[in-house]
Amino acid sequence: MRYMLLIYADENAWTDPERRECYGESAQLCHELAQKGQYVSASPLQSVATATSVQVRGGKRTVTDGPFAETREQLGGYFMIDAKNLDEAIEIAGRIPGARKGTVEIRPVVELSNLPSQG
């Protein structure tokens, strides 16, 4: 089963050296997961200041700068993994460096058969 691990934290909680160390640890975790056949994809996101939100209401599109919701923690990155079950996904989420300063939300992915296959 595929799981999306969403990493939330206050993006200002990290110093530049801590962020670089986090990226290095995350890359190492990705390589370890790949060796076990569990890695699908992962990436940090740019600052919330670069975000754009889109809404469509009554057929009209509204585009605004920034995230839709004001929160103390922002979505900072993700891991997409293959895991046998939720327990295995929890174990992997606990190894993500972002969990030390924020929260990793685990969401099972709905597999739709009519989507294009990954190439």
Residue in 68, 70, 91, 73 with CA at minimum distance from that of residue 81: 91
Residue 119 reports pLDDT greater than 70: no
Residue in 40, 16, 24 with CA at minimum distance from that of residue 92: 40
Amino acid 66: pLDDT: 75
- CA–CA dist 105, 82 (Å, integer): 15
Quick one: average pLDDT of 38-55?
Answer: 92
Residue 42 exposure: Cα atoms within 13 Å on the Cβ side: 26
pLDDT tens-digit map of 17-29: 999 999 999 999 9
pLDDT tens-digit map of 76-92: 999 999 999 999 999 99
Amino acid 68: pLDDT: 62
Quick one: average pLDDT of 50-67?
Answer: 89
Residue in 3, 38, 19, 2 with CA at minimum distance from that of residue 102: 19
Contact 74, 11 (CB under 8 A): yes
Amino acid 69: pLDDT: 63
pLDDT tens-digit map of 93-112: 999 999 999 999 999 999 89
> Percentage of residues in the chain with pLDDT exceeding 70?
94
Residue 43 reports pLDDT greater than 70: yes
